[in-house]
Amino acid sequence: MKTKLQLLILLISISTLSYGQFYTEYATTFNDASRGIRQISIVNDNVVWAIAYDGSGGGANVQELTLSVDGGLTWQSKAINLGGGTGGLGIAQISAIDANTAWIVAYPNSAFGRGGIWKTVDAGDSWTKQVSAVYNDASSFSNVVNFWDANNGFCQGDPIGGYYELYTTNDGGTNWTRVPSSGIPSPLSGEYGYVSQLEVVGNRMWWTTNKGRIFRSDDKGLTHQVFQSPISDFGSAAMSGNISFWDANNGLLLNSLGELWGTTDGGETWVSKGNVDNVGSDIECIVGTTKAVFTGSNGASPAVSNSSYSLDSGNTWTLIDNVQRLELEFSATTGFAGGFNTDNLTGGMFKYTGTELGLASVVDNEIASFNAYPNPINNNLTIEGVNIISNVSIYNMLGQKVLESNPNELVVLLDVSNFKAGSYFVKVTINNAIETMKIVK
C-alpha cells in the first residue's frame, strides 16, 4: 500500500507537463496559486532551493520557499518563519550550501520592518537571525547574500552613513564585519542597490544599482571597484537589466528592452550585441562555457512569451518555445527556470532536460560507473571505476581544468593537496563514455 507521501509524489509526477525536450515542468507544491519563483539556489545536481513571490497581481507579501533533494523531480514547499514581528519583511534572496543549511536576506517592506540575514540548519523549518549583520538603521535596506561555503559569506545593503552597508563573514555568519568605506567606492547621490541582483563566479562577484552602475569585488566582498554600464538603471519601471557571466571576465548584460551587450573585461566595458527581443526578462550564462539561456516576451499586448538559447556567447539565438518563464539558474551540469504554479500539484518549476546545451551529466555515486572518494576530499582523491579509466579531468567552478590524468587503470589515486577549498567537477572517461561528479574540498 502506498503511503500518503508516495501518493503525493505520484500525483505530482502525473501533473508534470513537458514542452519538447528542453524543459520539463514540475510542481513546486505551494498551496496558493500563482506563486512565482523570485530566485533559485543550486547546491548540486540533487539539492536546489528557491524562494517565492505573489504572482497573482494582489501584491501579497510572501515568505515561502520550496526545496528539492532529488534534482528537481519533487519539491517540498515551506513557510519561512522568521519569528514574531516580521510581517514587514520581504524575502530577497537565498544562498544554500547543502540540503539543510542556507541563508536568506530579508528586506523591510514597511516602516516597521528591520531586515538582515537569517540562517537555517534544518532545511528551512526554523531560522535564526544573525544579529551582527546589523541593518538596524531606520534607512537600512538589505539586498543580497551569498555564501561560498560553510564559512565565507557576503551581504550587501544600501548606503548608511555615507557608504554602502556591506558585511563579510568567515565563520558562517556567527560574526559579520562591516566592510570599511575605504574598500567601497562612494555612492552617487540617491544611489541604492537592488534585491536579488548578485552574480558570483569564483571569488569574483558583481552587484548593480539604480544608477546603472556595477560594483565588482575580486576578493569575496572585502574590496570593490565600480563601473558604469550602458544602461541608466537596473531595476526601475522605465529601465531594468540583468547581468550574467561565463567566467571572471566574459559576460552579458540584457535590459528590459531586449538590448544585449557583452563584456570581456569583467564588466568594465560593454559592447553592443544587438537585440534579443523586445522585452528581456532574465538571462543566464552557463559558467565555463559559451552557452546562455534567455527568457522574455515580444512586448506586444497581449505579450507573447518566449525562451531562447545561445551556443556562441550570445551572438545568435535559437527559439525554445513560447512558454512564460521567470528566474533562470544554471550550473555546468543542470539548470532550472521558474514559473507560476496552478495549485499545489501543478507547475511552478521548469527543469532543463534537453540535449541542446550539452551539459555534463552528473550521476549519483550509487549508479555511476565510477566512485570518487572521500567526498569532501582532503589531500588525496581515489577514483574507482567498474571498467578501465582512460581519462580523469578535474575542473573548478570557473570551468578551468586544474588536473588531468590518463591512467588506464581501474583505480586512480590523485594528489589534490594543492586544491583550494571549494567545489570541483570530476569528469571520468570509461569505455569512451564520459560521466561527471561534483566533489567538494
Instruction: Indicate the helix (H) or strand (E) that contains 9.
Output: helix 4-15
| Residue 305 Cα distances to 155, 240, 279, 302, 352, angstroms | 33, 18, 9, 10, 18
String of b and e for 237-251 (b: at least 16 CB within 10 Å)?
eeebbbbbbbbbebb
pLDDT value of position 13: 32
Residue 350 identity (one-letter amino acid):
F
pLDDT digit string, tens, across residues 133-175? 999 999 999 999 999 999 999 999 999 999 999 999 999 999 9
pLDDT value of position 354: 86
What's the CATH number for 370-440? 2.60.40.1220
Backbone angles phi, psi at 131, to 5 degrees: -70, -20
Topology agreement, domain 4-352 and domain 370-440: no
pLDDT digit string, tens, across residues 90-144? 999 999 999 999 999 999 887 667 899 999 999 999 999 999 999 999 999 999 9
Q: Regarding predicted confidence, which is higher, 87 or 53?
A: 53
pLDDT digit string, tens, across residues 380-426? 898 888 778 899 999 886 667 899 999 988 888 899 999 988 888 88
Instruction: Indicate the helix (H) or strand (E) that contains 145.
Output: strand 142-147
Q: How confident is the model over 243-255, as a mean pLDDT?
A: 95
Q: Is the pLDDT of residue 197 over 90?
A: yes
What's the CATH number for 4-352? 2.130.10.10
Q: Is the pLDDT of residue 8 over 60?
A: no
pLDDT band for 259, please (50, 70, 90 cuts): very high
Name the average pLDDT for the chain: 88
C-alpha angle 219-224-228 in degrees, rounded to nearest 5: 135
Residues ≥6 apart with Cβ < 8 Å to 82: 63, 89, 106, 118, 127, 129
Q: Is 149 exposed, middle or buried (0-12, 13-18, 19+ CB in 10 A)?
A: middle
66, 63, 103: which is closest to 86 by C-alpha?
A: 63
Q: How confident is the model over 11-16, as a mean pLDDT?
A: 32
pLDDT digit string, tens, across residues 280-289? 789 999 988 8
CA pseudo-torsion sign 9, 12, 13, 14: positive
Q: How confident is the model over 263-282, as a mean pLDDT?
A: 91
Q: What is the residue extent of each domain of the chain?
A: 4-352, 370-440
